[in-house]
Structure 1
Amino acid sequence: MSAGASAAVSGRRVARDRRRASVRRFGRSFARSRSGMAGVAILAFFALVAITAPLLFPRSMLEVTQATGDSFEPPSLTFPLGTDDTGRSVLALVAWGARVSLTVGLAATVIAMVIGTAVGIASGHYRGVFGGTLDRVTDWFLVIPYLPLAIVLATVLGKSMLNIIIVIGVTSWPATARLIRAQTLAIEGRPYLERARALGGGHVHQMTKHVLPNVMPLVLANTTLAVSLSILAETTLSFLGLSDPLTVSWGSILEEGFASGAISQGAWWVLAPPGLCVVLVVLSFNLVGRAVESILDPRGEGE
């Protein structure tokens, strides 16, 4: 092996060791964050519920024709969270709803993060018409009220879980793009970017090899916060009746409860469990996000 090849291998090994050491430091710091660990514990519980829902509650329990309880039956040993207006177990509905709400929230966040990161890096890296156009498009999305835009898109695309994911993903990326663009502008003036340009590195090389690794901590911290917003958006759209009527989510449970007169009937057990689940999941993602943000804070002002 030549000296140049040996040096390249050695350099990659050093970089790999540094990344591993960085991950270990992050893990130790996160483990010391009580709020972050509390958020992880709550998320782990809901993830376990979502995974085991088909095992604990057969899908037939979601069918109105297979309901075994009375309408708005209060909590009991048979139905720990009571029943809805059709006699279905609210506990079964909430467990199955966790699968849809978490899936939509995570999938929509991935779409939003990919679009926001790509647009943010490109608008901060490129100058001239292309970069300015991306910046103006971002501003345009930020100016338009989010909820009306999401409602219009969901109405146009139709009622399905995939469409809800797409709607939330393509309407919630601008804030991420603006954040990443600001970070990209700060990175663009650093010496290693100037060296890369002087050595003939192209735009794609600069953005993927130098800019993207340096904005990834910010992307990861923002992702955990964005998931909670996506889950809230899914709940809102489902509550407005824009989700797939054949799927059960926490938002659709709330929508059906209000439509069936659960409030007038005093059936609080139909509305409280899904609402509390939304609050706990949103809170847990925020706790994890704040912990990650605190650890990655370059000023060292973490918990």
Structure 2
Amino acid sequence: MTAVTTAASTRRIAWTRRRRSLARFCREYAKSRAGMFGLCVLVLAGGAAVAAPLFISAHELSAVYAPGSPLRPPSARFPLGTDGYGRSMVAVTVWGARISLTVGFLATFMSIGIGTLVGITAAHFRGWADTVLMRVTDWFLVLPTLVLAAALASVLPRGVTTVVVAIGVTCWATTARLVRSQTLTVESRPYIERATALGAGHWHVMTRHVLPNVMPLVLAQTTLIVSEAILLEATLAFLGLSDPTKVSWGTTLQLARQVGAVSAGDWWVLLPPGLAIAAVALAFSLCGRTMESVLNPRLRERA
């Protein structure tokens, strides 16, 4: 009975500390105007992407049954004009957020997962494992990410899944380096040595002691990589390496290039998706920088 009571009390104390840490993080984050601006932009973009099926029908996105004439300038009926198929640029831009954000998040989770696993493994085991993993990481760091992602996307079947894989397996190297550095710092602390002396195995140390301490860094890195992943998705789609039947910001720009909107000066076809990409990428970067400054005491003291 005493053991059960002690365990329950320990869990309550742990949850209380977590709630206090979360509340302290929210208070510090709310002090940053840039971070709050980025968060508002992301909430608006995410809300529009989720709610898009409620006010945009498949008929409005159809290339065959488009409601308007191709490449018409902004008007009362189409506030942002129409694209090369006659579809409303408002509908295309809002719906394109679904694919672009989905690819960005999935590719980021894949990249963060690979980078975290490689970084913790290399720093924990060291020796030949550290040498091999870091040389592979250096190889990915040296190669241009866009060129490697484009090469990978060109040899795999064309589609959204291919773009996710191409981005995910090419953007993890920076995360691996950062996680490795943080893991070396964590494992130099005395409680890691005490846990090992008490019989804790590699898996216990890596998952119970190292991973929780590197998660703040991983979380901040996640928001920074999402913006890079969205830009890469738009670039690969613009190069024709994504699924052309899926409406995204990148495929919208590719269609504008194909119909000659760039040379004809049809700015309304280029501006909405371009501004959407820039705004979302900037918002993620602002959120990432703010989270990094809040979670890193040294950066917070300088600010």
Cα distance in 2 for partners of 1:24, 1:147 equals: 39
Residue pairs, 1:1-303, within 5 angstroms: 1-2=1-2, 4-299=3-298, 300-301=300-301, 303=303
State the 1:130 CA deviation.
2.1
Partner of 2:158, secondary structure, is: coil
Q: How many angstroms does 1:127 deviate by?
A: 2.1
Q: Secondary structure at the match of 1:301?
A: helix
Amino acid aligned to 1:184: T
Deviates most, 51-60 or 204-213? 51-60
TM-score normalized with structure 1 length: 0.96
TM-score, length-scaled by structure 2:
0.96
Classify the secondary structure of the residue corresponding to 2:78: coil
Q: Distance in 2 between matches of 1:52 and 1:21?
A: 33
Contact 1:295 1:302 in 2 (8 A): no
**How much has 1:166 moved relative to structure 2?**
1.0
The SS at the match of 1:264 is helix
Measure, in 1, the Cα distance between the counterparts of 2:217 and 2:233. Answer: 24
* SS of residue in 1 equivalent to 2:169: helix
Residues 155 and 242 in structure 1, CA contact (< 8 A), matched pair in contact too? yes
Residue 259 of structure 1 aligns with an amino acid whose one-letter code is: Q
**Deviation per CA, 1:243-274, whole angstroms, max 9, x where unpaired?**
00110110111111011100222210000110
- Number of matched residues? 302
Deviations 1:47-93 (CA, angstroms, capped at 9, x unpaired): 12111211221012111211122221100011111011221111111
- SS of 2:263's equivalent in the other structure is coil
Aligned equivalents of 1:139, 1:164: Cα separation in 2: 23
The structural deviation recorded for 1:5 is: 4.5
| Structure 1 portions without partners, runs of 5+ | none
Structure 1 residue 7: Cα displacement:
3.4
Q: Per-residue deviation at 1:129?
A: 1.9
* Cα drift, residue 13 of structure 1: 2.2
Partner-residue secondary structure (3-state), 1:171: coil
Partner SS, residue 76 of structure 1: coil
Contact 1:160 1:244 in 2 (8 A): yes
Per-residue CA deviations over 1:201-234 (Å, capped at 9, x if unaligned) read: 0001000011001101100111111100000010
Alignment partners' CA distance in 2, 1:203 and 1:291: 33
User: What is the alpha-carbon distance in structure 2 between the residues aligned to residue 301 and residue 229 of structure 1?
Assistant: 28
The answer to whether the 8 A contact 1:294-1:302 is kept is no
Deviating beyond 4 angstroms after TM superposition, the runs of 4 or more aligned structure 1 residues are: none
Question: Distance between the aligned counterparts of 1:180 and 1:27, measured in 2?
Answer: 24
Distance in structure 2 (CA, Å) of the matches to 1:42 and 1:63: 28
| Rounded Cα–Cα distance in structure 2 between residues aligned with 1:154 and 1:40 | 31
Structure 1 residue 187: Cα displacement: 1.1
Task: Note the residue ranges of structure 2 that are not aligned, 5 or more in a row.
Answer: none
